[in-house]
Structure 1
Amino acid sequence: MAEHDHEHDPDHQHDHDHDHQHTHKPGHSHSHSHAVAADADRKWLWSALLLLLVFMAGEVVVGFAAQSLALISDAAHMLTDAASIALALVAMRLAARPARGGYTYGLKRAEILSAQANGVTLLVLSAWLGYEAVTRLLSPPEVEGALVLVTALVGVVVNVAATWCLSRANRSSLNVEGAFQHVLTDLYAFVATAVAGAVVLFTGFVRADAIASLVVVALMLRAGTGLVRDSARIFLEAAPAGVDPDAVADRLVSAPQVEEVHDLHIWEITSNEPALSAHVLVTPGGDCHAVQRELQRRLREEYRITHTTLQVDHVGGDGPDGLLQIAPDSAAAAAAAAAADAARGHCDDTHGPVHRAGPHPH
């Protein structure tokens, strides 16, 4: 049926070319705005990176001089901050490359790899710092409270500046968000370290240094878990957060002339770039092109999904009037309907649930 519709419809190629031309121009302006945004993001990331590297070098020296695990852990975390920003910059450069060869999406998911790497490093570092903090709780060393306090206060200022720089970049990108979470937890760490330094200086309670480190560990675990979870959703081709594929399918199948939607897949190519593919069956004699345009409009306006691939065919003639027979709602009926679909040659192996429409109003 699909071959018949396309081969004998003289307007098919014209409509396809028209649709392609209609969507191609906005795509160019969209790419241009992405390029401008990426350049601005890189500028803010470079600014934050330079701030962190300069301060980190001094903090390592002071941390060892003051015998402060909190300062050393802050410096270690700051090293991962710098690495995360550098990784984000590399990933942004790779993602900007055009698609070619076997990489039909380009290298857009390099940014998701960067985000996942940032999340994993946060989790690994939190495990090491947690162990060291517990050790120092049991056997606390002498800590120079004054050095810790002064260095931590300077660190707060530096990290506020770095966090502000990253907040100016596009945080809807999981890549940028990964770097931002690194620096934000570092800011919290310096606040906790400053409090610990003040406690050690004025009360002599040296265990405050290790307690501050445990607070930082908890923040790192929270940020790292979120980054790993969100990046894993994209790698596992899960639907974007907040999008229910069944609800989307029900919305599509409610369109005029649509009888069935199956093989519906929704995923993200990279952050904020959702994509959808589906097989749509329309009533015999229905306008496949009009249905396709209506479904694309709904997806674009209601779900902000613009990267769509819809295979639109006519329903096969199983019933006396050439209409698909909708059987009662039961497992056996659904299996029979799926078998009938396969017999008609639509899909030999349907993935996911099949969504069928009720009677359409005449």
Structure 2
Amino acid sequence: MSGSHNHALPSTGNERSLWIALALTTAFMITEVVAGVITNSLALISDAAHMLTDSAALAIALAAVRVAKRPADAARTYGYHRFEILAAAFNALMLFGVAIYILVEAYGRFKTPSDVQTGTMMVVAIAGLIVNLISMKLLRAGKDSSLNVKGAYLEVWSDMLGSLGVIGGAVLMRFTGWTWVDPLIAVAIALWVLPRTWILLKESLNILLEGVPSGIEVAKVTQALQRVPGVTGIHDLHIWALTSGKVSLTAHVVHDPVLAHDALLEPLKAVLAKEFSIFHTTLQLEIEACRHTIDGDNYVGPVSPPEQHAH
């Protein structure tokens, strides 16, 4: 017997804000690359790479919102939500390449310092800071209602710190002439991007491999289900995410035969929704554990298993 399905879709109310923030960020990212080449500032180019992470996060959020509007069909019964994860993994790999390039280039700049046009560098960085602040204001309203928007908001927030670093570096070089500050800031920004990029890649791969989503423990879910009156065993429990914020669960629940299926189904669904925010569930209710599943490690419960079968 299956529970009712509640598909949690990405919020569509923030689409306009996402589009504006993406346009601003992408346009300025291109401007910053051009300015970095003209002023010979590796720090500006590095900050532009950081802004690329913002654009990627905003684009992924938009893709999730728009693709989620496409209905499921006979070929893709889950719809197109997994697109967000494929795009995230691609962006992470690309950003690793960008960060490594910046580190290699910075090493060369340390060995052979180059003159930097600090005035232009400062003006561009200040403009970037303004773009960050505008994007943050656009996204702030929706960050608590959408995981995608929240991720994009955090990306822009962290890039604001990068812009502040470039401004500080430009001021320092203007008054001290220490050109080595420019590659130092570039390295700092690259090292700031790498850990977050690794986290993005790791989470994307976990979802693609249908691993248990971060923040959910299978043992605790099992224990919570077993606490429901009438439940005597749990097996074939699987938890995975189709995309970020869309967790699915399937399980076989062994119960006391005096209880009707309908009387047990709603309490089980309520526990999963209230304690773990899992709404997309498929529960098979049984009065005796399946013979072909209980001989593995996935059987949990006091029910005496029937005769074991060899794998």
| TM-score after normalising by structure 1 | 0.74
For 1:243 and 1:81, locate their aligned partners in 2 and report how far apart those are by CA, in whole Å: 27
Q: Which amino acid aligns with 2:247?
A: P
Distance 1:246 1:81, change over 3 A: closer
Distance 1:313 1:95, change over 3 A: same
For 2:183 and 2:240, locate their aligned partners in 1 and report how far apart those are by CA, in whole Å: 43
**Corresponding position: 1:162 with 2:135:** yes
Distance 1:230 1:270, change over 3 A: same
Q: Which amino acid aligns with 2:112?
A: S
For 1:174 and 1:228, locate their aligned partners in 2 and report how far apart those are by CA, in whole Å: 17
Specify every segment of 5 or more residues in structure 2 that has no aligned partner in the other structure, as ranges: 305-311
**Corresponding position: 1:216 with 2:171:** no
Cα-to-partner distance string for 1:295-321 (whole Å, 9 max, x where unaligned): 222222222222111111112xxxxxx
**Corresponding position: 1:348 with 2:292:** yes
Cα-to-partner distance string for 1:240-291 (whole Å, 9 max, x where unaligned): 3222211221222233222211111112222222221111122344323212
- 5 Å matches for 1:58-207? 58-79=31-52, 81-170=54-143, 175-177=148-150, 179-207=152-180
**Corresponding position: 1:304 with 2:254:** no
Whether the aligned pair in 2 keeps the contact of 1:63 and 1:71 (CA below 8 Å) is yes
For 1:171 and 1:136, locate their aligned partners in 2 and report how far apart those are by CA, in whole Å: 42
Secondary structure of residue in 2 paired with 1:356: coil
Deviation of residue 237 (structure 1)?
1.9
Specify every segment of 5 or more residues in structure 1 that has no aligned partner in the other structure, as ranges: 1-5, 7-15, 316-340
- Matched residue count: 303
Whether the aligned pair in 1 keeps the contact of 2:15 and 2:62 (CA below 8 Å) is yes
Q: Which amino acid aligns with 2:292?
A: D
Deviation of residue 168 (structure 1)?
3.5
Partner residue in 1 for 2:210: 237
Max Rg structure: 1
CA RMSD in angstroms comes to 2.8
Q: Which amino acid aligns with 1:309?
A: T
Whether the aligned pair in 2 keeps the contact of 1:172 and 1:272 (CA below 8 Å) is no
Partner residue in 2 for 1:328: none
For 1:172 and 1:235, locate their aligned partners in 2 and report how far apart those are by CA, in whole Å: 24
Q: Percent identity?
A: 35
**Corresponding position: 1:43 with 2:37:** no
Secondary structure of residue in 2 paired with 1:263: strand
Distance 1:248 1:62, change over 3 A: closer
Greater helix share, 1 or 2? 1
Q: Which amino acid aligns with 1:166?
A: L
Deviation of residue 115 (structure 1)?
2.6
| TM-score after normalising by structure 2 | 0.85
Secondary structure of residue in 2 paired with 1:249: helix
Distance 1:167 1:236, change over 3 A: farther
